[in-house]
Amino acid sequence: MAHYDLIVLGTGGIGSAALFHAASRGLRCLGLDRFPPAHDRGSSHGESRLIRLSYFEHPDYVPLLRHSYALWDALDPSLLHRSGILYAGPAEGDTIRGVLASAREHDLTVDRVEASDFPQYLIPGDACALFEPDAGWLPVEACVRAHLAAALHQGAEHRWGETIEDWREREAGIQVITDRGNYSADRLVVAGGAWSHQLLSQLDLPLTVTRKHLHWFQCQDQRYQHGFFIELPHGQFYGFPARDGRLKLAEHSGGEAVTDPLTASRERDPTDDQRIEAFIADHLPGVMPTRLKHASCFYTMTPDADFIVDNIPGSERVAFAAGLSGHGFKLAPALGQLLVDRVTGGSSSFDTRFIGLQRFAA
């Protein structure tokens, strides 16, 4: 049986980063996945992901975000596009209140702007608008490929087309069983995305997998140069700078629960279609109602929509990231590094108790 210093289960957004950080420390490591690099069956596909610093979800993500900015740039300076993001919503809504709280606590640049300065978005008259110039987007598949290529360059092995069936921690080490063979390792990182329930079944994590839709509509690129995140009474909608005559957008709120991400439908959903089309008609006057592309993807939600990144209780050798709740990709490099720290006894300067498993202990 082949033996490794460290095995990573799942080499999507987070696992690819963990594999790179493990390999760059000189560890002999293996990454395992059922699907090929940058595949479209999990949660890390669809051309792009927003990245932002003034984090409305929780200000404690900001140090990890700053670190992720540096790590993305170090991996490949062409990945992170600082296009800026416009936030709009009620002054007392989760988005605006959260952005301002993070900006205040961490001294971030967020400008108050007039909705009339951004006529390409029809922002409700009573909404507050903010612009974060350092926010932007990442090309998601290229990022996964970059982490995997860098990991291989550092000597990691990557096997895909292999389904992980089980893993066991014994005193002598960790055994991983796949449909192709068995492997052993001194340490294990689990980054199973929408399949975390299966790969971490012993933890009975409070996770719900939801199906989300991405849409690309026709427009003129020069009208939409920034990302946007708009909170309305009926939901949160976001989008990306237009490229090649297409603007990509989606609804962040909502989502339909799925029991098996492997067999879940990937077709368009009439309700989601209608909500997106109504959002375009009401708020994006420069976007044509011509849908050019659709994709579906999975959020893995926790009850509080914050991640769970921790060690398996009682184990210093196994760590996991799960429940990234639809906002984890931007943090992939910092989380990958953190996971490797957690199983190698490395110290981390980040306070990550807010994403610890302990908060669900009760």
Ligand X SMILES: Cc1cc2nc3c(=O)[nH]c(=O)nc-3n(C[C@H](O)[C@H](O)[C@H](O)COP(=O)(O)OP(=O)(O)OC[C@H]3O[C@@H](n4cnc5c(N)ncnc54)[C@H](O)[C@@H]3O)c2cc1C
Kindly list the residues in this chain that would bind ligand X in the complex (CB under 6 A).
Answer: 10-15, 32-35, 42-44, 46, 49-50, 163-164, 191-195, 198-199, 212, 214, 250, 297-299, 324, 326-330
**What is the per-residue burial (b if ≥16 Cβ within 10 Å, else e) of 174-186?**
bbbebeeeebbbb
* Closer Cβ to ligand X, 219 or 297, answer by number: 297
Residues 259, 349: Cα–Cα separation, whole Å: 37
In angstroms, the Cα distances linking 78 to 67, 143, 329 are 17, 10, 17
Distance in angstroms (rounded) separating the CA atoms of residues 151 and 321 = 19
Q: How far is the CB of 114 from ligand X (least distance, A)?
A: 26
Task: For residue 82, give the nearest of 35, 21, 131 by alpha carbon.
Answer: 131
Using the minimum distance from each CB to ligand X, give the nearer residue, 130 or 176: 176
How far apart, in whole angstroms, are the C-alpha atoms of residue 218 and residue 130? 26
d(CA 180, CA 221): 47
Core vs surface per residue 224-249: b (16+ CB within 10 A) or e:
bebbbbbbbeeebbbbbbbbeebbbb
| Nearest-approach distance from CB 232 to ligand X, in angstroms | 18
Rg of the chain (C-alpha set)? 20
Q: How far is the CB of 278 from ligand X (least distance, A)?
A: 19
- Nearest approach, Cβ of residue 6 and ligand X (Å): 16
Q: Which residue has the closest beta carbon to ligand X? A: 12
Q: Which is nearer to ligand X, 93 or 333 (CB)?
A: 333
Q: Which is nearer to ligand X, 33 or 341 (CB)?
A: 33
CB 139 → ligand X: shortest distance, Å? 12
- Taking the least distance from each CB to ligand X, the nearer of 17 and 128 is 17
Least distance between ligand X and beta carbon 190 (Å): 9
Minimal distance in Å, beta carbon 126 to ligand X? 26
Distance CA 53, CA 66 (A): 7
| Nearer to ligand X (CB atom), residue 91 or residue 271 | 271
User: Which of 112, 225 has the CB closer to ligand X?
Assistant: 225
* Cα-to-chain-centroid distance, residue 324: 6
- Which two structure tokens, joined as six digits, stand for 204? 């009975």
